[in-house]
Each structure stands twice: as C-alpha cells, then as structure tokens.
A and B are shown apart, each in its own frame.
Chain A
C-alpha cells in the first residue's frame, strides 16, 4: 500500500509513546496505527494501561516522550482551546457511563448540544430523541441516572457520545460487568455505530470473545509493549505465548499465576536452617 494511502487511512498514529506513572513504566516506546472507519480493539490484561492509552489519545494525560497524531495533528502540542476543538470531534464512552448524576437521561444526552451549539430547543429535543431511540431508551428519557441499570447507563452514555456526530469514538471497557443480554446489546450497538455511521471506533477491553467478534483489527498490549497485532483471525491463531495466554484465558504463562517472590520450598523450610 503506498505511503500516502496509509497516511490517509490512519486516523490515530502513535509513535514511540512512553508513559510512566509513580515511577512505573506503563508504555515503553509503543507504536500503533488506528485505521479510519474501522473497529480497532486494544486488549490486554488488567493494569496494563489500556484506559491510560485512551486518556493519552484524548489528551487528558501527557506522555514522557513520543507523539500521538490525530488526523496529522499532534495532540500534545495543542493548547487547551485546540484540544477542546479536537475533542468535539471525538466521543468517549467511559466504563461507568459517567453520566452527570444531577441531570435526567434526556438532559444528559442534550448536554453536549446545549454546551456547544445554539440550536433551538425543539431541534435539540428531536436530535436527543433520535439518539435515544437508536439505543432503545427513548421512553426512559425522564429517568435519573440512579434509576438506570449499568447497561442502560452505558447506552445513554453512548447516545450522549454520538449526539454531536463525532468522527471517532473511544470505548473504555464497554462490556465489563454486564449480563449476557446487556453485553449482546452493547456488542450489536458498537458494531452498528461503526457500520451505519462509519465512525472510527477504538474499543479497549479485556473481554476477548466479544471484542474480537466486532473488531476489524486488534492490538494486544502487555508489559508496556505491543505484544501482538493483527486481524481477529490472526490473533486467534497466533503462537505468541502472550497472545495465546490472553486469547485462550490460560491461568499461567507470561503473566504468572504466582505473584513474584522467593522460592516456595526455600521459604517453607527457611526456619529449620
């Protein structure tokens, strides 16, 4: 594929990304390309920094070194105003939904429209109802966030993330803690959002079967590195011990079952020496 074509088809370009927190290296010179209009999965064990990666892409955290370009713009070189303009073009679905607890479902979805546009209220109402209908919660518009189940809260948050018609949407662990029905609904919605609206989607998750079922491309990160990349079929057939352990949910492997420490036999009989 010619270089110009690659550039045009890549929305997010991550090069040499290094990030540390509390003296611990979370990412060590990571490179990634997120293709336009596709669903890209970023998977890895808990604590590998998947959510941190989304925050770095959204400009909420600054890397030690390296750069993240979105449509050719270096995210971390932007000033606050530039960053906010960029964020208007992206939506993010937080793990908890992160709905504003003092606003109703309707007002939560209307919130970005009221903050960023001067649309008349009747039009706001139509747009909000349209988005709520697409996630199946039009009739729940008068409920407060405390009255919603976890899955419903995420669907409302999805409607809110989509209401400004973003070009890209970031999903942070969308399937965690969901019952099978809610999980099925979310899987279907994420796929539909991508197919119908053509929005670039980045799904960060450790729910392997669900994520791979909707992803066009996937990355596996562990130990601060990208340990695997490829289409879902390639990842499932990979012989890399990291990917095999993760994709097949093996209890022991590169991520050890035992917390690192001294030898068990030595420790057991230490006092008899």
Chain B
C-alpha cells in the first residue's frame, strides 16, 4: 500500500513559498545591483572612452541583425498594409501606416528584442565568464571597482545604443516599406512621403519612440549585466544565466511596452 507522509500534502505550499522567497531575494539583489550601478555612473561618465569602446562592440554585435530584421519587417508592413488599405482606396496612406507602426512600436520593441537576444546574451556570458574565471575578483583585489571599470561602461553603452539601433531599424524598415509599396505595388511615391511627412509628429511619435527605446535599453542591459554578475560561476551557471537574460529581458520589453504605450497614447 502506498504510504503518504501526512505532511506531504503541504509540499506544494512549501515549494511555492520557497519559489516566492527565491524570486524576491533575486529581485532584491537586482535592485541593489542597480543602486551600485547608479553609484558608479559618475566614474563611468568621467571615463567616457570606456563606454564608447563598449558601444562600438555592442553596435557591431547588433548592427547587421537590426538592418536585416528592419528591412523585412518594413517590407511585410508594406505588403500587409497595402492589402488592407487598397480595399478602402487608401493605399496612398501606406507611408503613414508603415512609419507610425515602426517609430511608435516596432522600431523600439523589435530592436530591443533583437538587442536582448544578441547583445544582451553576449553581455551576460561575458560578465558571467569574468566571474567564473575570477577576473572580477582579480579587479577587486587590484583595488579596481568592477562597477566603475567593467559594468558601468557596459550599461551606459547599452542605454545609449538602444535608441540608435531602434532609429536604424525604423529607417531601414521605412525604406523596405517604400521599396515594396512604390517599387512593387505601384503606390505613388509623392503620396507615400508627403502623407508620412504630414502625419508623423516629431514629439508625439518619434520622441515617444526614442523614450521607449531608452527605457528598453536601460532595462535590457540592466537584466543582462545582473544575470551575468549574479550567475553561479560555472559553465552551467553561465549558460543558464544567458537563457534567463533572453527570456526575462524579452518579457520585460513587451510588458513595459504596454505600460509605456498606455501612458503615451492611452488617452
């Protein structure tokens, strides 16, 4: 006969409790990490050269993937938009649809998702390996603060790169949409540009997109750096942290996008 310990019924409750504790402990550590990061920002800004070097490597990592993805997303938008608008005889407004979709939403969001997958995971792996190979400990023992020398510059680089990548994504996407609409489907080029020009507002649309991508850049880079810094310093720990970065950063981007969109365009 199967014997069940009377306390076994409480196991799921215990697991839930343990899971909750672990979650809040990690959340607490992530916020302490963010505080430490903010404290190191003065020193990071004083040595901008380090951040610029990191921007270069982050940019190189994500440039090609952003251009290719932006091009295809813009082309799909052109095709889908045309099929819908042509039924109403409004295909001349295709430029507006493509541009607004890109600068308000798809530019910041998709570029941030690509950034999380490419540069975010690379940052986690890099910091995680620095921890596993005792490089962070060595910096501490050389009286060099890793937050000022390693983590701060990478954070600033991610934060500043994100709007540039989102802008690149949107620009290439608009070019892709133009190619499909004007080149393939025969939409009038003048209407495409002039309607876009008159309907896209610099502050309401473009700047809100930039604000979004700054927020996404900060959050994705924060998550990526924290996961690397907090990982179990083994090869298995680093690989798990890399996966967590992509999952958590992507979910954070999508969730925050809703919050920011509601605040900016909700009414």
Contact = CB atoms under 8 A, between A and B. Distances in A.
Contacts of A98: 133-135, 137-138
Contact of A92 (B129, B135, B141): B141
B149 interface: yes
B211 interface: no
B141 A58 contact: yes
Tell which of B129, B134, B149 has the most Cβ of chain A within 10 Å: B134
Contacts of A94: 134, 137-138
B122 to A, nearest CB: 13
Contacts of B143: 84-85, 87-88, 115-116
Categorize the interface residue count of chain B. Answer: 10 to 19
A87 B134 contact: no
By secondary structure, the B interface counts as helix
Categorize the interface residue count of chain A. Answer: 20 to 34
A128 to B, nearest CB: 15
Interface of A: 55, 58, 60, 80, 84-85, 87-88, 90-92, 94-96, 98-101, 111-112, 115-116, 157, 160
Contact of A101 (B135, B144, B149): B135
A112 B143 CA distance: 9
B2 interface: no
A90 B142 CA distance: 8
A262 B91 CA distance: 82
Contacts, number: 50
Nearest to A83: B143
Interface of B: 129-130, 133-135, 137-145, 149
B137 A60 contact: yes
Contacts of A96: 133-134
Q: Which 4 A-B pairs have the closest CB atoms?
A: A98-B138, A84-B143, A98-B134, A87-B143
Nearest to A115: B144
Contacts of A101: 129-130, 133, 135
B143 to A, nearest CB: 4
B18 to A, nearest CB: 16
Contacts of B144: 111-112, 115
A157 B139 CA distance: 12
22 contacts: A60-B141, A84-B145, A85-B143, A87-B141, A87-B142, A88-B143, A90-B141, A92-B141, A96-B133, A98-B134, A98-B135, A98-B137, A98-B138, A100-B135, A100-B138, A101-B129, A101-B130, A111-B144, A112-B142, A115-B142, A115-B149, A160-B142
A212 to B, nearest CB: 26
Contacts of B142: 87, 111-112, 115, 160
